[in-house]
Amino acid sequence: MTLNYGQTSYQKVGKKLRAKLLYYEVFGRPIIVINDVHVAQDLLEKRSAIYSSRPQIRILSELIGMDRFFGVLPYGDEWRAQRRIFQQYFGQGRVSQQLEMHERMLRFIRKGLLPNLLVSPQDYRGHLKNCIGGFSISIAYGLPVERQHDSRVQFLEMVFGEIAATAGPAKLLKNFIASLLQDMPDWMPGSGFKREARELRISIEKLVEGPYQAGLKLSHERSSQESFVITSLEKHRSPTDSEVYANRIRDTASQFFGGASETTRATVLTFVLTMLKNPDIQREVQRELDSVIGPDRMPTVSDIPQLLYLSAVIKETLRWNPVVPLSVPRMTTTEDVYDGYYIPKDSVVITNIYAMLQDEDIYPEPSKFKPERFIKNGVLRDDVPDPEVIATFGFGRRKCPGSHIAIPFVYLIAASILHLFDILPEEDADGNPINVVPKFTPSSVTSEPYPFPCKIVPRGDRNANELLKEYIGNEPI
């Protein structure tokens, strides 16, 4: 079994055995892999009281210090407290916050991403990283962000990349072993993992404290923007538990950056790759943009409901290469029986979202990129399961609480890029187009395309400089 691409291995084993559930043991610890969306709904949603906790792996919680992030906390009071703080600001019912976030998304796209693509399109990955990560820092902490290569964005991206590489499902076996050896003396051969874990812990402390303190300082100087941290602190003024509450806000803010940036960037990069590989689909999206928006203005949030073909393309992007192919592992809090199978207490449960969205019984020819599976005669189909709804963002009580933020951001970035630019193949030294073979990173937590060459050039019928002239500048966003 290839642990780095466990989603495909689990899928192949499931097909071979004709099994929707797989059972493994690692040092006596039961591991359950769910390959079927209906099984996932039955267990993780209908029996969520049993399947909503997280396994606590000693090296990750005690040595590295990841137990401060509510995404990996066990189900209980502390998890509920942090999730409640998140929902009070970011929840779908918070209309004023939603409007502010949408406006700030557009600022980062128009002032950062698009002008940078005009000047240095070859660094499109860096520009996407700065735009998406910068937005997350701005919303979480109210901090200004440089239009290119912001140092704080780069540091936070680096640390969260290390966290994902260390704690992803592919490292489950390694982390079990490391936890067993955690108490060995530092001088013994083979104990180097402890030094690496402590170094990552120091980086996590800087990641959590640095932007938080910077945001507080700006707030005291009355020069910060609206933010999750300041708004949440102002709402809670009880002196009895103010320190505990402030620490929860601090830790939740850092989790927002990690969750929002990694998944959104991976989705947009996959979108760029699919447009490069499918020029006919790209042109159809551009025709729709021309029809709905016209050549004289930029896309806005209010345009999204009318961009039905783009919606089908985004849904197919999420299905074709799921951004989180294997879910963050869960743990059963009591024993259970499902369809005649006994599931022990304390079992680690992994959801294979990749297998669900590549199920050929639901999505025929799943390896092909076919947006038309979601749209017919100009109308989105309701008889084909929507990846946004059924699996992409998880299940039950552990479903991603920020999906309603990520999806509009993806739509706005995708629409804005194709409104102004063509995504074309790069050429080799002889002038021939380079054929890009899609390859994706191993499953740490998110899956994104490896760097690939392409040309992002202004559309011939667009005056990009004119459309962006009011947004071009050097001051931070």
Binding residues for heme: 400
Please say whether the beta carbons of 105 and 264 come within 8 A.
Answer: no
Q: Residues, the chain, total? A: 477
C-alpha to C-alpha distance for 259 and 263, rounded to whole angstroms = 6
* Residue type, position 196, single letter: E
Q: Nearest CA to 450 among 461, 458, 459, 441?
A: 441
C-alpha to C-alpha distance for 413 and 477, rounded to whole angstroms = 17
Tokens of 448: 């994104």
- Measured at the alpha carbon of residue 263, what is the angle toward residues 262 and 269, in degrees to the nearest 5? 90
Give residue for tokens 């937590």.
Answer: 445
C-alpha to C-alpha distance for 138 and 332, rounded to whole angstroms = 37
C-alpha to C-alpha distance for 451 and 265, rounded to whole angstroms = 13
* Residue type, position 124, single letter: Y
Please say whether the beta carbons of 452 and 180 come within 8 A.
Answer: no
What three-state secondary structure class fits 425?
A: coil
* Residue type, position 442, single letter: P
Q: Nearest CA to 11 among 39, 33, 41, 42?
A: 33
C-alpha to C-alpha distance for 166 and 158, rounded to whole angstroms = 12
C-alpha to C-alpha distance for 415 and 289, rounded to whole angstroms = 7
Q: Nearest CA to 454 among 317, 272, 279?
A: 272
Q: Which residues are annotated as a binding site?
A: 400
DSSP assignment, residue 352? B
Burial class (CB in 10 A: 0-12, 13-18, 19+), 18: exposed
